[in-house]
Amino acid sequence: MRDPNRIFEIEKPFPEWMVQYIEDQTKDVNWQFVNVPEEHEEGLNYRTPALFTNVMFCTQSNILDDHKELTKLLHTALTREIIPNTITDAQINQVTRTRLNGTVQGVYYGPHNDVRNGKPGLWTFVYYVNDADGDTIFFSDEGKTEMKRTKYKKGNAILFPAHYWHTMDVTTVPLRVSIGMTYSIETKLNEEF
């Protein structure tokens, strides 16, 4: 069961100097074009039109990024203040992935979740980097029933269970940029009800 109250909207988690620093650091990115898996309503897997990404850090692939200062700054802010203030009983084990995502004007990307096994325990933090539009839409199932929407607004963020299915609504700007970080967190909020 999915609970919309476990999707936390975080208004302005970073000071203004950091908002500008993050945007400046993400302007010159070595983007890679990737497909996003989506399940067809008849149960067949296929790939949607893709998005642009830059993996900054990944424990599974042993990728260490070219954006070390930015990654360290984000990680420090998240583990010392943002996650503990949002999930008060959080025991943060590790960051498992950090990546930049770029979505382009007029393309719908389809529902997905951020974990392969679909189990609780991993949480995703998404930070909205630039001036853009297009809600983040969450689903109570595998991408069929809308549960909640959060507005894309530069400087804001969301924190949610990584196994929750979600997608980005179509944007009207040439390139919408976000940063996604996935953490292994122990909390009572991982318990299904």
Collapse the DSSP code of 19 into the 3-class scheme (helix H, G, I; strand E, B; otherwise coil) and give the result.
helix
Low-confidence ranges of the chain (pLDDT < 70): 33-51, 56-67, 193
Query: How far, in Å, CA of 28 to CA of 134, rounded?
Result: 22
Tell me which DSSP letter residue 42 carries: T
Alpha carbons 80 and 102: distance in angstroms, whole number: 27
- Per-residue pLDDT, 54: 73
The confidence score (pLDDT) of residue 99 equals 87
Residues 104/175, Cβ–Cβ less than 8 Å: yes
The model carries a pTM of 0.88
Give the pLDDT of residue 193: 53
- pLDDT for 40 equals 44
CB under 8 Å to 97, separation ≥6 — which residues?
55, 57, 58, 59, 60, 114, 180, 181, 182
Q: pLDDT of 10-29, one tens digit each?
A: 999 999 999 999 999 888 87
Q: Are 30 and 66 in contact (CB under 8 A)?
A: yes
Which pLDDT does position 27 carry in this prediction?
Answer: 86
What does the alpha-carbon distance between residue 33 and residue 163 come to, in Å, rounded to a whole number?
A: 23
